[in-house]
């Protein structure tokens, strides 16, 4: 996790050197490159709007998923079975074409004396989704962070998503979705845990 944090911090340093004004100029150049006139009425404010949107799309670079999980609860009467959260919306962008990735994530962990607020599970998905991603990496980042931060006995993460880099361009298979799974701890060691989890999420 340290290497990942170091890479993110280095990216943030580089980002700080580029102003909003510089980024707006870059988008104006792109608008001209595609054959449009960035000075026409409908496009004059577009670079500013794109900058604002990009700040939202990629806010995960300025967030720490482990900090999201800092607050846990131990007064749960020794609950030690699965905690499953299904159908968490995933909205990300692929790192190859910067096209949207839209789908759902299912997250499950087995507590080890402490649990975390339910909204925090969705927040971890959000933090990693709001970065340029591959679905495989996104799935693993969520799982490894939950396992480490919660000292969980096991973690399972599934993402089912459509990639607009292949639904709107290239091969253009608009109904295709991709499913990725990642298991840690008891879910990797014991297939009975995997089977229960997959039954819960309807896979």
Q: Model-level pTM greater than 0.85?
A: yes
Domain range 72-201, CATH class = alpha beta
Look up residue 43 and give its two tokens. Answer: 């496009």
Q: How confident is the model at residue 9 (pLDDT cuts 50, 70, 90)?
A: low
Q: pLDDT tens for residues 94-145?
A: 999 999 999 999 999 999 988 999 999 999 999 999 999 999 999 999 999 9
Q: 63 burial class (0-12, 13-18, 19+ CB within 10 angstroms)?
A: middle
Residue spans per domain, the chain: 2-57, 72-201
In degrees, rounded to 5, the angle at the alpha carbon of residue 176 between the alpha carbons of residues 172 and 181 is 135
> Can you tell me which residue has the tokens 């480490």?
148
Let me know if the fold of 2-57 is the same as that of 72-201: no
Catalytic residues: 94-97, 135, 163, 165
- List the structure tokens of 8: 């993110």
Which CATH topology does 2-57 take? Answer: GTP Cyclohydrolase I; Chain A, domain 1 (1.10.286)
pLDDT tens sequence across 145-182: 999 999 999 999 999 999 999 999 999 999 999 999 99
Q: What's the burial of 174, exposed, middle or buried (CB within 10 Å: 0-12/13-18/19+)?
A: exposed
Closest CA to 168 of 95, 76, 101, 71: 101
pLDDT digits (tens, 9 = 90+) for 35-80: 999 999 999 999 999 999 999 999 999 999 999 999 999 888 889 9
């Amino acid at each position: 996790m340290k290497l990942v944090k170091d890479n993110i911090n280095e990216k943030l340093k580089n980002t700080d050197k580029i102003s909003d004004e510089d980024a707006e100029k870059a988008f104006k150049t792109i608008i001209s490159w595609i054959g449009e006139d960035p000075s026409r009425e409908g496009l004059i404010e577009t670079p500013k709007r794109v900058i604002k949107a990009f700040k939202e799309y990629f806010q995960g670079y300025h967030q720490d998923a482990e900090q999201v999980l800092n607050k846990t609860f131990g007064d749960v009467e020794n609950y030690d079975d699965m905690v499953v959260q299904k159908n968490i919306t995933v909205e990300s962008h692929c790192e190859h074409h910067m096209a949207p990735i839209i789908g759902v994530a299912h997250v499950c962990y087995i507590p080890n004396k402490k649990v975390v607020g339910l909204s925090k599970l969705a927040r971890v998905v959000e933090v990693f989704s709001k970065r340029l991603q591959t679905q495989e990496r996104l799935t693993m980042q969520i799982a490894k962070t939950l396992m480490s931060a919660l000292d969980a006995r096991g973690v399972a993460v599934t993402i089912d998503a459509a990639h607009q880099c292949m639904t709107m361009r290239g091969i253009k298979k608009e109904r295709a979705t991709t499913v990725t799974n990642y298991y840690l701890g008891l879910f990797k060691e014991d297939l009975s845990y995997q089977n229960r989890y997959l039954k819960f999420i309807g896979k």
